[in-house]
Each structure stands twice: as structure tokens, then as C-alpha cells.
Amino acid sequence: MNTASPFQRRAFLTTIGTGAAAVCLAPLHEVQAHFTRRLEALTIDDRFVSLRNAYSLGENVTYFNHASIGTMPRLVQEARMKYLEVCETNPWLYMWGPAWDEQIDRTRATVAEYIGCEVDELAITHNTTEGFNTLAHGLPLGKGDEVLYSTMNHVGARVCWEHRAEEKGFTIRRFEFPIERASIMMSDEIVARYLEQIRPETRMLVIPHIDNMVGFRYPVKRLAAEAKRLGVEYVAVDGAQSIGLIPVNVGDLGVDFYATSTHKWVQSLKGLGLFYVRKELQEILHPMWVTWGQSRYQGSARIYEDYGTRNRPEMLTLEDCVQFQNKLGTEAKEAYLRTLHAHFRDRVDETEGLLWKSPRNWEDGCSIFAIEVLGSKSSDVSDFMFEKHGYVFRAFGGELNALRMSVYVMNTIEEIDRCIDLVKNEFLR
């Protein structure tokens, strides 16, 4: 039995000389170099046609559900397998040793640059829900404090507050947001609707950057600034649907916390996320997990991701995901998604019986949008389209009664046209 403490094991490993460390890193560097070569060799045209084979979506699947869960590029899948293989040649060395520490740091630096924050402000978590649970658990909120959010909050950014409110003594208030006005609402109205809800006791405001039902793009920077002017102390943003999909510079938004899941639009492995915690607030936000030696991460958001053994091979792939997204190019990606958005909207507009329920402008929306098939239950349409034609999208019931489409770089105009035609033939005769 190994009776050495984790500290002793680490101390032993740090005695490995630089020559030995280089040997430990060589297999990893080989995988990374291979990935880089393959990525460089990938040619990408401005309509992303060459991308169709870059993913392993099933032949009979037309995937319009990236807002639920993304799909990893083949190149990243391969890199992940290779990291795992290297790790398994000596798990103790790679999981506990310093050999991969700097690689994880490099991954964090790449991701921090991608989302626009400092390295020490970024934790690599599992998902958005985890970030919000850390907040509800670890912020000094108590009696007399209110947490405010609207009905547009996803459960992942809501339930944690409800769960902790009684125990900690703070109150929550969830106000009705008129989702039915989505196609005509402008950002001025969004800001006004939030601001009119703020009261002297409102200490925390939680907002989505992009919501998951109609795909509004919230004017986060302006809203955060105005909320703070009215006395709100903390602004926390749910970025599950924004990072990767639109350019985001978290550090420039003037918000305090930003949680996201990279397994949607950054196309990472499932179960990876990011949590930004503004530097000044790290002293007051307690981590949700406690483990040995955590004090070494004092002064860094790493403290929020430290709960013992992590899946290092998987964490490493985040850097590859970001490189893949960078290869697509922010502007080229936006231009292409804008084209898909406009085409879908125009086809819906010209089709009697279909109703566009999302922002009409790209600037207020994104490639997530809701479409009602008048006279039909949304789940009936989505079930039919999946079972008969392999289309994957989500149905929202209730008053929205809409198909939530979320299209991405490998989707095509032809897929959209076929989708509209099939729905028309089956449900709008």
C-alpha cells in the first residue's frame, strides 16, 4: 500500500529532473504536434462545405440541436483518445506528476484568452450548473438579500438559488418575461424590463447571455452597468449558449461571474465547463468542494475546480477545441451562421402556417430560434421529424409551442429547405 501523502508524492515527483520531465512530455507533445498538423491541413471554404466530414454525425441524422448538446470534431476526438492512451501507459505519472501540470496551465491560458479573462479568473468545471451551484453555496448572501432573475433563466441557473434560499436566509424573486414578444423586442426593452424589477434589497442579478428557448442575445454589458448603478452588488451571467457561438470578451462585460458549458458551442467533450470569477470576489466566494492542500490555489479561480483527482486527458482537449474553433475563424463563422439564420427566417416567413418566434435580426438573436407550426403540437412535429426523417431538434411546449432549432457550422441551406418542405407536406396541407 502506498502510504505517502499527496504532498509527499508531489515532492518526490518534483525531484524528477528536467531531462526526465521532457521524456514524460514527449508522447503528449507528439499528439499535440499531430493534431496541429492535421488542423493546419484542414481546408475550410467560406461556406464550410469541407466541414461536413469533420464531424461524426450519423449519415441519417440532420442535427439542429447544438443548443442542447454539441458534437466534437473528429480531430478532437482523436486527440482525446491519444491523451488517454498516453495517460494509461503510466497513470500515476500523468495524473499525479508535474509532467502535465504545465499542459493544463497552457490549456487554461488558451481558454482564458479565447473568452477574454485572466488565467487566475478561470476555473475549468464540468458545466454551467456547477458554476451556479458554487455561487448559491459560497457567496455571503443572507437575510435581507434578494436574488433576482426572470422566467428566461434556465433551470441550471435557477434551481440552486431555490435550494439554498431557506438555509441561507436570502430571498429569490423570479419575474415573468414576455417571451411572446421575442420577435419584436429590442434590447432597450430588455434592459428596461430588468431594471424596473430591481429593488433596494436586490443584491444579485442573474441573467442569461443568450437564452435557450428563443435565442435572445441579451445586452449584458449595458444591463450589468445599469443594474450596478441601481445598487445591485453582483451580476452573474449564464453563458451556456454564448461561448463559442458568439464572440465574448468576459472581462469587458463588467460582470462578476460567468458560467458556461463548453460541450455545446465549443464542441468539447461532454461534461466540461468554465467558470469566471472576478479576481476581487475570490476572497468572498467559498469553494463548494474542500480537499487537501487547497490553500495553494488561494488567489486563483483554480480553487473552484479542485476536488481531488480530475480527468486530465479530457481537460487537455479543451485547448484543441479552442484551436479548432479559431481555425473556423470568428468572422467567417458569424457570417455563415448569419446566412443560415436569415434563410431559415425567410423560409418560415414565406410559408403559411409557420410562425417565427425569435428575434428577427441577427444582432438581437443568433442561430438558436423558435418556430411554431400553427395547429400542431410541437412535440408531435419533432417526434415525426426525428422518427421519419432523422431531424434532431427540441420541442418546447406550453404557450411557446415551438420547435427550437439550433444550427451550426456543418449545417446547410439544403438541410433547412428540406426541413421546411417536410414539415409543410406533413403538417400544413
Ligand X SMILES: Cc1ncc(COP(=O)(O)O)c(C=O)c1O
Nearest CB to ligand X, comparing residues 208 and 359: 208
Closest approach of ligand X to the CB of residue 237, in Å? 10
The window from 47-55, 171-179, 235-243, 352-360 that contacts ligand X (CB under 6 A) reads 235-243
* DSSP notation for 364-425: T--SEEEEEETTS-HHHHHHHHHHHH-EE-EEE-TTT-EEEEE--TT--HHHHHHHHHHHHH
x/- mask, ligand X, residues 244-283, rule CB under 6 A, reads: -----------------x----------------------
CB burial class (10 A; 0-12, 13-18, 19+) of residue 124?
A: buried
Note whether 412 binds ligand X by CB under 6 A.
no
Q: Rounded distance, CA 257 to CA 146, Å?
A: 17
Is 103 within 8 Å of 30 (Cβ atoms)? no
Nearest CB to ligand X, comparing residues 126 and 203: 126
Residue count, binding to ligand X (CB under 6 A): 13
Helix, strand or coil, per DSSP, at residue 303: helix
x/- mask, ligand X, residues 137-156, rule CB under 6 A, reads: -----------------x-x
In 44-90, where does DSSP find H-type helix?
Answer: 74-89
Neighbours of 109 (CB within 10 A): 14
Note whether 32 binds ligand X by CB under 6 A.
no
Which of 24, 123, 157, 328 is close enough to bind ligand X by CB under 6 A?
A: 157
The window from 33-41, 233-241, 348-356, 385-393 that contacts ligand X (CB under 6 A) reads 233-241
Which of 32, 65, 129, 412 is close enough to bind ligand X by CB under 6 A?
A: 129
Note whether 128 binds ligand X by CB under 6 A.
yes
Longest distance between any two alpha carbons in the chain, whole Å? 75
Nearest CB to ligand X, comparing residues 129 and 401: 129
The window from 80-88, 123-131, 229-237, 404-412 that contacts ligand X (CB under 6 A) reads 123-131
x/- mask, ligand X, residues 64-83, rule CB under 6 A, reads: ----x---------------
Query: Which helix or strand (DSSP H or E) is residue 57 part of?
Result: none
Closest approach of ligand X to the CB of residue 156, in Å? 3
Closest CA to 75 of 326, 271, 291, 355: 326
Handedness of CA 33, 39, 43, 44 (dihedral sign): negative
- 389: number of CA atoms within 13 Å, CB side? 21
Strands (DSSP E) contained in 214-312 are 234-238, 257-261, 273-277
Nearest CB to ligand X, comparing residues 128 and 197: 128
Which of 127, 197, 317, 378 is close enough to bind ligand X by CB under 6 A?
A: 127
x/- mask, ligand X, residues 320-339, rule CB under 6 A, reads: --------------------
Closest CA to 358 of 151, 181, 182, 208: 182
Which of 146, 238, 305, 364 is close enough to bind ligand X by CB under 6 A?
A: 238
Note whether 240 binds ligand X by CB under 6 A.
yes
Strands (DSSP E) contained in 98-175 are 122-125, 146-150, 171-175
Which of 62, 134, 183, 241 is close enough to bind ligand X by CB under 6 A?
A: 241
Closest approach of ligand X to the CB of residue 293, in Å? 27
| Nearest-5° Cα angle at 167, 166 to 168 | 95
Q: Which residues make up the interface to ligand X (CB under 6 A)?
A: 68, 127-129, 154, 156-157, 208, 212, 238, 240-241, 261
